[in-house]
Structure 1
């Protein structure tokens, strides 16, 4: 039986420091320093967010736009299982879903209302340019179920220790990137953004974070920041 299709459209697009899929936190709240802005489209004015500032957290429903062209699969390999065991797509939060819909619970830092409504959110796991379809307030007594069974996901993932090589420290100081960027960088790398099946100690990984390319390698449970450079497209002014 087919149901009538209702067209949905974005109400705004996320402005995020995560410029590529690699490095984005795998779940909301794991990187508290990941701050994003959601400017709503002009049609959604101040009346649409009246009363929302009284809530600490909001649900965002969005589209995994970065993987739409990759399609979907009935079976996926969750990173929490080492990328070796398959689970049904509906038993995971994989972005490779039939409709590529995502749901994130983010901390609402503040709302600005002037010519455009802007929501400032933290703990984000969202790629820059993510289309947001809906916003709903988080209501703890309805939605918090700490005693619920969570299947194969038992607690937060283990964290890597993040260390800096002297050259990377010098590059950071020279670029004057600031304490907020450092915190974002370290919290993001500590989550181990590598594919679950990959453990090549000598490999140098590159994460495009804000306007900076961050180079790092992982040895056992230590992530070494190797270097930082301005992103090439940023230098070109794109």
Structure 2
């Protein structure tokens, strides 16, 4: 009987380093925010170059990962996906929510190559939608002929999310950006714009029109903005303590 199967233990092969240091603001699918790179640092004994032999021929890879902040949170048979504005419940197996019997996620991301750094054997990635510190369980090459199905239907998520919200900056925020990223190497402005264009707020926020100010963490920064029905106005870009996000209902689920 299935119920008598013993528990299966898994071991992370690596850890993600990304600019998403808080759950609020993480894009809800991969490849929606591409302004900056992320890194997958392989852990011993998996940090061996021969384990990556042949991977350079692939432009994208699958990451199998753990929603590590949700471990121990329990699973829910029905969830409220952000794509439906948090108003409608659907079965957990019809969603990518983290509240699963096994909190495992799957993301297809761009693979930019590997290098040996002071942190260890590192894979350079783009389009990552993962919290900084996410444990990765496995890597698999993305196969275009098998993994992309043009005729597939996608239920309530048949179209990509809108990413057309105007993002404006106050003069003070522009000055702060210039001080923090004087040569543009960190791509901070592009990162903020791509993230806010997707409107990371929970879908139910339209019930609270009086709340117009929001903040999120990106890398080591805190971004503050005012939300109107027409645009997001960034008024603060300042250093902030690094605090990993938790698995709770206080903000949008990042999937």
TM-score, normalized by length of structure 1?
A: 0.93
For residues 1-238 of structure 1, what are the structure 2 equivalents within 5 Å? 1=1, 2-44=4-46, 45-113=48-116, 116-159=120-163, 160-176=165-181, 178=184, 180-199=187-206, 200=209, 202-232=211-241
Higher RCO (CA-CA < 8 Å; seq separation 6+): 2
- Compared CA separation, residues 114 and 212, structure 1 to 2 (3 A): closer
Which range is displaced more, 85-94 or 1-10? Answer: 1-10
- Compared CA separation, residues 85 and 55, structure 1 to 2 (3 A): same
Question: Which residue does 2:247 correspond to in 1?
Answer: none
**Preserved CA contact (<8 Å) 1:34 1:184:** yes
2:134 and 2:194 map into 1 onto residues whose CA distance is: 21
Which range is displaced more, 23-32 or 60-69? Answer: 60-69
**Preserved CA contact (<8 Å) 1:106 1:121:** yes
1:137 and 1:107 map into 2 onto residues whose CA distance is: 10
Q: Which runs of 5+ in 2 are unaligned?
A: 244-255
> Any idea what SS the aligned residue of 1:6 has?
coil
Which range is displaced more, 146-155 or 165-174? Answer: 165-174
Q: Deviations over 1:17-38 (max 9, x none)?
A: 1101001110001111242101
2:237 and 2:22 map into 1 onto residues whose CA distance is: 16
State how many pairs are aligned.
234
2:76 and 2:173 map into 1 onto residues whose CA distance is: 39
1:23 and 1:184 map into 2 onto residues whose CA distance is: 11
How far the C-alpha of 1:146 sits from its partner, in A, is 1.6
**Preserved CA contact (<8 Å) 1:201 1:219:** no
**Preserved CA contact (<8 Å) 1:77 1:83:** yes
How far the C-alpha of 1:92 sits from its partner, in A, is 0.5
- Compared CA separation, residues 194 and 142, structure 1 to 2 (3 A): same
> Any idea what SS the aligned residue of 2:205 has?
coil
- Compared CA separation, residues 175 and 55, structure 1 to 2 (3 A): same
> Any idea what SS the aligned residue of 1:152 has?
helix
Which range is displaced more, 183-192 or 125-134? Answer: 183-192
**Preserved CA contact (<8 Å) 1:9 1:133:** yes
2:112 and 2:128 map into 1 onto residues whose CA distance is: 12
2:90 and 2:200 map into 1 onto residues whose CA distance is: 20
**Preserved CA contact (<8 Å) 1:62 1:103:** yes
